[in-house]
Amino acid sequence: MAALIAENFRFLSLFFKSKDVMIFNGLVALGTVGSEELFSVVAFHCPCSPARNYIYGLAAIGVPALVLFLIGVIWNNHTWNLVAECHKRGTKNFSAAATFLLFGSIMGRASVAPITWSVISLLRGEAYICALSEFVKPPSLDKFPAEYGAEVLAKIPCRDLPANLTKFRDEVTRRLRYESQLFGWLLIGIVAVLIFLTKCLKHCCSPLSYRQEAYWAQYRSNEDKLFRRTAEVHSRILAAKNVKQFFGFVALDKEEKELVQEFPVEGVQPSPQWNAITGVYIYRENKGFPLYSRLHKWAKGVEGNGPTPEGHELLFLAS
């Protein structure tokens, strides 16, 4: 039981695994800020109509956040690795906690942009004022005429008010902007605390030393770059051979001719090899030696996904 608990806690290292992740999250946040500013200037126009204000204001905050969240899920490599894992091998090799935290990793990375959008929207306050202006209680406004109600208050964001009510516009706007910014700062504080706690737990539960974790991050980055670069060259040479076989010749530039001569390509990798290096990877050791990726595991000829008498598995997911 203690070993199982320790393994599940190691999955807390799913989040914010490297500086590259933090830089990427920062760039996503900056891009979201710029997009939100552009949206507010160009696209946001409160209808200033009862019932419509509330729907439009919430949609202005929630719909773009939902779209950004879905884009984040689609762009996350873990999403498609998980899909491939479930399609090829199922989730039998993962515990319930491991599966839950894997989804948590995907959701956490995908939440950077929508949270940023929501925070900036709340700090600006326009959407919140538009959504809730009609719900301000007239009795809470000093000397507000009793004959006016939600229909007039809904027009406050558009400054389309009777002359005798203009003095109430600033008060209502100030009150709602205060509430909106308060929620925005609270959201920032909650996210900051969660990030801090996650970072602390990650460092406490990591089975790797700081230097080995840094080396693993460098290895993953270099393997990915070299794999993509080699795959691009391999596919180009293979395509050139097939085109030449069809037409009898192939029109190559100087660089491509040098590639064809330097790297002979005899065929393609069979599907079992592609399947072996595709999917979710959990850090494993075999006879005390680390296996840093599925490709590394395949190259070493290690079979299976679970721990064996000769190998040791540590539940530590690559980001």
Task: Give a yes or no: residue 288 inside a domain.
Answer: yes
Q: How far is CA 64 from the centre of its chain?
A: 15
Tokens found for residue 181: 């910014």
Please indicate whether residue 7 or residue 228 has the higher confidence score (pLDDT): 228
Beta bridge partners, 312, equal 285
147 confidence band (pLDDT: 50, 70, 90)? low
Given a cut of 50, whether residue 5 has pLDDT beyond it is no
Task: Give a yes or no: residue 308 inside a domain.
Answer: no
Percent above pLDDT 70 for the chain: 75
> Given this model, what pLDDT does residue 16 score?
38
Tokens found for residue 201: 């737990």
The domain of 142 spans: 42-205
144, 178, 205 — which closes off a domain? 205
Given a cut of 50, whether residue 148 has pLDDT beyond it is yes
The mean pLDDT value for 106-118 works out to 88
Residues 6+ apart with CB under 8 A from 75: none
Q: How far apart are CA 273 and CA 276, in angstroms?
A: 5
Tokens found for residue 154: 């809904």
Domain check: are 130 and 56 in the same one? yes
Q: What is the identity of the amino acid at 196? A: F
Domain check: are 125 and 190 in the same one? yes
Check: CB of residue 133 under 8 Å from CB of residue 53: yes
For helices 96-110 and 77-88, angle between their N-to-C axes, nearest 10 degrees: 150
Domain check: are 110 and 239 in the same one? no
Domain check: are 165 and 118 in the same one? yes
Given a cut of 90, whether residue 154 has pLDDT beyond it is no
Task: Give a yes or no: residue 4 inside a domain.
Answer: no
Given a cut of 60, whether residue 308 has pLDDT beyond it is no
Across the beta sheet with 289-291, the strand order is 289-291, 282-286, 311-317
Q: How far apart are CA 317 and CA 257, in angstroms?
A: 41
Q: What angle do CA 287, 204, 306 make, to 5 degrees?
A: 35
Domain check: are 189 and 219 in the same one? no
Q: How far apart are CA 125 and CA 184, in angstroms?
A: 9
Domain check: are 46 and 187 in the same one? yes
Check: CB of residue 101 under 8 Å from CB of residue 201: no
Domain check: are 174 and 272 in the same one? no
Domain check: are 165 and 65 in the same one? yes
> Given this model, what pLDDT does residue 153 score?
80
Task: Give a yes or no: residue 284 inside a domain.
Answer: yes
Domain check: are 74 and 147 in the same one? yes
Q: How far apart are CA 275 and CA 196, in angstroms?
A: 37
Q: How far apart are CA 50 and CA 210, in angstroms?
A: 57
Which residue blocks in 140-207 are alpha helix, DSSP H? 150-153, 166-205
Structural domain tally of the chain? 2
Task: Give a yes or no: residue 64 inside a domain.
Answer: yes
- Tell me how crowded residue 202 is: count the other CB atoms within 10 A of its CB: 18
The DSSP code for 312 is E
> Given this model, what pLDDT does residue 246 score?
94
Domain check: are 167 and 274 in the same one? no
Check: CB of residue 245 under 8 Å from CB of residue 271: no
181, 205, 229 — which closes off a domain? 205
Task: Give a yes or no: residue 182 inside a domain.
Answer: yes
Task: Give a yes or no: residue 16 inside a domain.
Answer: no
92 confidence band (pLDDT: 50, 70, 90)? low
128 confidence band (pLDDT: 50, 70, 90)? very high
Domain check: are 243 and 129 in the same one? no
Task: Give a yes or no: residue 305 inside a domain.
Answer: no
Of 108-112, 136-140, 203-207, 313-317, the one with minimum mean pLDDT is 313-317
> Given this model, what pLDDT does residue 173 score?
85
Given a cut of 50, whether residue 19 has pLDDT beyond it is no
Please indicate whether residue 173 or residue 93 has the higher confidence score (pLDDT): 173
Q: Please give the model's pTM, rounded to 2 decimal places.
A: 0.69
Domain check: are 131 and 56 in the same one? yes
Q: Quickly tell me which residue has 């964001």 as its tokens.
A: 157
205, 240, 266 — which closes off a domain? 205
